[in-house]
Structure 1
C-alpha cells in the first residue's frame, strides 16, 4: 500500500514539475509540509479569569430549585354533592353590611 502511495506521489510530482517547473514543485512540497506539521502545533490561548485546573479557585455556589415545587395532585376523587362544592367556594358574608 505504501509503495502505491509513493508511486502516486512521485508521478504527480513529476507531472507538476514538468508543467510548472522546479520552483512550483519546491513550493508545493514546502506548503504540503507546513500544512501537515501545522496540524501538530498546539495553539495556546490566554486564560481569562481563574485557572480551571486550580482546585482553590473561587467559583459561584451551586443552587437547586425544584421544577415541580408547587405540585398538587389532581387525581380524580369521589364526587361530592353540589351543595358542598358551592359552599366551599362561596365568600364569607361581611358582618354589619346587609342589604
Structure 2
C-alpha cells in the first residue's frame, strides 16, 4: 500500500557521473535533483544503436541542465523550453544600434 516502485538502476558509468556531478553541485542542488537530471538525460539515449557516444552526450546534456537549474531563482521548479512565440517576441523587441543607420537592428 503506497509503496514506491524502485527506479531502474543506472549503468555504472552513469552512476559514477551522478556521483561526480553530485559532488560538483554540493550545496547548490540536492543529490536527488542531480540523479533525476542524469536519468532524464540518459533515458532517451538508453537504447541507442551506437552506444559509444552515449556517456559523453549524457554528461554534456546533464551539465547543461544543471547549470540552467543553478541559475534559476527556484532550482526545484521544472525546466520549461521557450516556445517559438516567446522567442519571436524577444526578436521583435530589438532596438536599433547607434551607428548602424536607419532600418538596421543589432544582432
Normalising by structure 2, what TM-score? 0.23
Larger-gyration structure (1/2): 1
- TM-score of the pair, normalised by structure 1: 0.24
* Structure (1 or 2) with the greater helix fraction: 2
Higher RCO by CA contacts (8 Å cutoff, separation 6 or greater): 2
